[in-house]
Amino acid sequence: MPIENTNAHFFYRQLFIRPAPVTKSQHDLTGLTAIVTGSNTGLGYHASRQILSLGLSRLILAVRDTTKGETAKASFISSLNSAPNKNPFEPQIEVWELDMTSYESILNFSNRVRDTSGLRIDYAILNAGVVRTDFQQRDGNEITMLTNWLGTALLTATLRPVLQAQYDDARRSSAAQKAVSDVSPPVLTIVGSDVAAIATFREKDLASKQNTSVLKQLNEKKNFEWIDRYNTSKLLLLMFFQEFCDRVDKAGGNEVIVNLMTPGFCYGSDLHRSLEGMMGKFFMSVKRLIGRSTPVGARTLVHAAVVAGKESHGKYLMDERVAPFADYVETEKGKAMTKQLWGELEEEFSKVVDLKQLVSQKQ
């Protein structure tokens, strides 16, 4: 087992490693555009705030509740106006609706990115996630899995060809003007979690014994256990990420940098907002004891998007450096399960898109 996947290293990181901030002197984002999902609170809010401080010219806040998104937007504008080194050009901040539990909303969002005239996305940070302590479903799918795995997978798959097409258009425009091209490849950063490495994922065994799909077992209320459900959602997201990058690269023509990262265990976010009573108080106390502050954790999101570069494509980032994947996914059983789950995603998404076509789509 790599040391990065041990409990001892987790506690060491949490207590003694402090990710460095990205500064404008290092990376000036003037003229560039970003999307951050789940950006009205927690890590997404602070990542948005930090990326704006780098001189970003346009930011799309992708949120489920647009009223809360507008509140976040007002907060960002107020902070920028009061900053000691105020940018003379106020960034364009927009609030777009995105409900990660709705395939329709996800497709509408990706289509809006595609169809908005003059828009080119340089950075897309897919941060939105949820922890549910109770079993809830939408359209037959359990909410934790729907948000953290299925919804994020669908958004990744539908956004990537859009970002690639925008990048191709920008390079053609630069070539037509006979200008020196300074167009950099777009980056699509997915927020994962350390807990993927400790998921028990017992639904895979239930599916094997009962000769059903894994998704069917995940949607059975009797199989729901909230802590491992969140852990498993992040493991399945990791498995999707690996297979997605592998298939996209084999198809050829992709220049979008797609990476997966973990911010570490952070306090100050709304991720565990559904926890109540003594359990909630205990969990929040533990987070405060060993967790990073949300602004510090958000530095890793900004680093993955802005700094990590081409070398991070298809890689997992921890504390602003490449780290090993969870042990299970590197085993023969894990690799076989990754293929099986991809097939289940193809079937699930066939209701709305052709996943095979999206993976091979160059623009």
Contact (Cβ atoms closer than 8 angstroms) between residue 41 and residue 67 = no
Contact (Cβ atoms closer than 8 angstroms) between residue 234 and residue 147 = no
List 73, 234, 267, 315, catalytic entry: 234
Active site residue 234: yes
Alpha helix segments (H runs only) across the chain: 7-16, 42-52, 66-82, 103-115, 143-145, 152-176, 203-210, 214-218, 226-251, 277-290, 294-302, 332-349, 355-360
Are β-strands 33-37 and 123-126 bridged in parallel, bridged antiparallel, or unpaired?
A: parallel
List 45, 103, 230, 316, catalytic entry: 230
Active site residue 230: yes
Gyration radius of the chain over CA positions: 20
Query: What are 76's two structure tokens?
Result: 């960002």
32 by Cβ neighbours in 10 Å (0-12 / 13-18 / 19+) ranks as buried
Residue 20 CA to residue 200 CA, distance in Å, equals 32
Alpha helix segments (H runs only) across 199-354: 203-210, 214-218, 226-251, 277-290, 294-302, 332-349
Catalytic residues: 230, 234
